[in-house]
Amino acid sequence: MKDSTRESLSYWGLYARMLRVKKEIKPQAVSFGNDKQQYFLYYAPKNLTSDKVILWVHGGGWNAGSPKTFDFVGQCIAKQGYRFLSLGYRLSPKNKYPCQIEDVCSGYRAAITYLEQQGIDTSKVIVSGPSAGAHLTSILCYSKKVQETYGVDLSPVIGFIGVGGPYCFSKNDSLSVRLLLNQLFAKDYDRTQGEPCALLAKSEIPMLLIQSKHDGLISYSCAEAFYQKAQTLDIPSELYSVTDKKNTHSWYTAGMFLETRETNHGLDKFFSWIENL
């Protein structure tokens, strides 16, 4: 069966699992703009076991999703003992890029300020995101131009984890990705200004790229190209290939947070990499 077909058939099982997740931790919603999509959710773990903070930006093809949609991710990570922030942004096609990266930068600044006002140590932040969220967070972490344009201080960030991200644009992109990019960018916009591979600059922030060779949407070569460029810039980097049977795009980018570390190798890699930073 083609990976794209497996991807399409996986959604119902994923949604069914999402609906069964218990909401044991009630997050705090904090707005950082006038638009209803400009907010983040803060999850304070009941049993804090780490001084590291995870800031996560959701996926959804840039045109769908919200922090509330992905509450199960916050529940999973907070249960592991981490403070967790889930960041939202204005969606396409109504809002064209760079609205999304503007919001990620504004939300990042607001999240750091919020934590500091709560007296929380922000010296060990891990930035992460799946799919469209991996695209946006990789730009946040590795584009000097974007950091300077939006006044972002990345000194608190000690690591980046991108899961199933479209880091490089190509004529060989799947039809679904091409359609989503056409919604994201205005007709005459220079897409290199929103392409992580083109924007990647030298950095000391270590990166972990989690990617599946059976992703029906994003080619594995996309992560390979980003990883290889990072290495030429001497950025500490690792490319991890998904080994779990549930290796379609939606399952390994978001669905892994419905599993446990014992049953999902990708999820265990996510947490073990953070633990070793």
pTM > 0.95: yes or no: yes
Residue range 133-175, pLDDT digits in tens: 999 999 999 999 999 999 999 999 999 999 999 999 987 788 9
Structure tokens at 243: 């080994």
pLDDT digits (tens, 9 = 90+) for 220-258: 999 999 999 999 999 999 999 999 999 999 999 999 999
Residue 90 confidence (pLDDT) above 80: yes
What pLDDT does 14 receive?
Answer: 82
What are the structure tokens assigned to 213, written together? 């060779």
Is residue 12's pLDDT more than 90? Answer: no
CA distances from 151 to 35, 54, 134, 143, 202 (A): 21, 21, 20, 12, 18
Where does the chain have alpha helices with state H?
A: 3-19, 71-79, 99-117, 132-142, 144-149, 175-184, 196-199, 220-232, 249-253, 265-275
Reported confidence tier of residue 80, pLDDT bands at 50, 70, 90 = very high
- Give the span between the Cα atoms of 173 and 92, in whole angstroms: 19
Kindly list the structural domains of the chain, giving each domain's residue range(s) and its CATH number in brackets, ordered by start: 3-275 (3.40.50.1820)
Which three-class secondary structure string do you get for 207-243? EEEEECCCCCCCCHHHHHHHHHHHHHCCCCEEEEECC
